[in-house]
């Protein structure tokens, strides 16, 4: 039996711009640990993944729309990066509300690269320490968080677990940490 057997893990993206490795690598880690991943996006159209933010790659069909999704139906949330993806997620009020619902429920969240932008927009970073792609440092600090340059950072402050990493080079550590933390959710 895997560490995530019986756990339902939500992956929230926009329809375009998600960094492929930041979606597929954690997705595979969840599957390998026995969990059930679900892709959530604003619409039913396929999600366009990118490599290096510029080259189109595979598309992925969402399992649910944001309007259909509820934090009550999941044990944890993953916010993949990709600059365009993360910017569109933070600009979608329903997606931001879903992120806030996970926080309000005290459920763990993992975010990589530009993924923490949704947390900035949700106004939930007060008292949290996290890492991200370096260009988010000012946004995170202005949102009340403390930014650190670490491969992976797990913060338990404010009543909920937050796992963050900087970029695709950190995926092994990110996946290992989120699997461990999510197994206790």
**Cα dihedral 36→169→106→86 (10° resolution):** -90
Catalytic residue of the set 4, 76, 79, 113 = 113
Q: Does the active-site annotation cover 113? A: yes
Catalytic residue of the set 20, 90, 114, 128 = 114
Domains and CATH numbers, the chain: 8-182 (3.40.50.880)
48-63: pLDDT as tens digits: 999 999 999 999 999 9
Cα dihedral across residues 131, 133, 139, 141: positive or negative:
positive
65-104: pLDDT as tens digits: 999 999 999 999 999 999 999 999 999 999 999 999 999 9
Q: Does the active-site annotation cover 154? A: no
Angle between helices 171-182 and 20-32 (to 10 degrees): 40
């Amino acid at each position: 039996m895997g560490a995530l057997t019986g756990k339902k893990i939500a992956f929230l993206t926009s329809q375009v711009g998600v960094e492929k490795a930041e979606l597929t690598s954690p997705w595979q880690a969840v599957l390998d640990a026995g969990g059930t991943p679900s892709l959530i996006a604003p619409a039913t159209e396929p999600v366009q993944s990118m490599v290096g933010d510029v080259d189109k790659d595979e598309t992925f069909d969402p399992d649910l729309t944001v309007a259909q999704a509820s934090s009550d139906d999941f044990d944890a949330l993953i916010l993949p990066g990709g600059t365009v993806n993360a910017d569109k997620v933070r600009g979608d009020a329903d997606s931001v509300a879903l992120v806030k619902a996970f926080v309000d429920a005290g459920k763990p969240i993992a975010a990589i690269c530009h993924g923490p932008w949704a947390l900035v927009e949700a106004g939930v970073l007060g008292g949290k320490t996290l890492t991200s792609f370096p260009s988010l440092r000012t946004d995170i600090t202005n949102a009340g968080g403390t930014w650190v340059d670490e491969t992976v950072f797990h913060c338990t402050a404010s009543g909920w677990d937050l796992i963050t990493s900087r970029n695709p080079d950190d995926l092994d550590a990110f996946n290992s940490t989120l699997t461990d933390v999510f197994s206790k959710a």
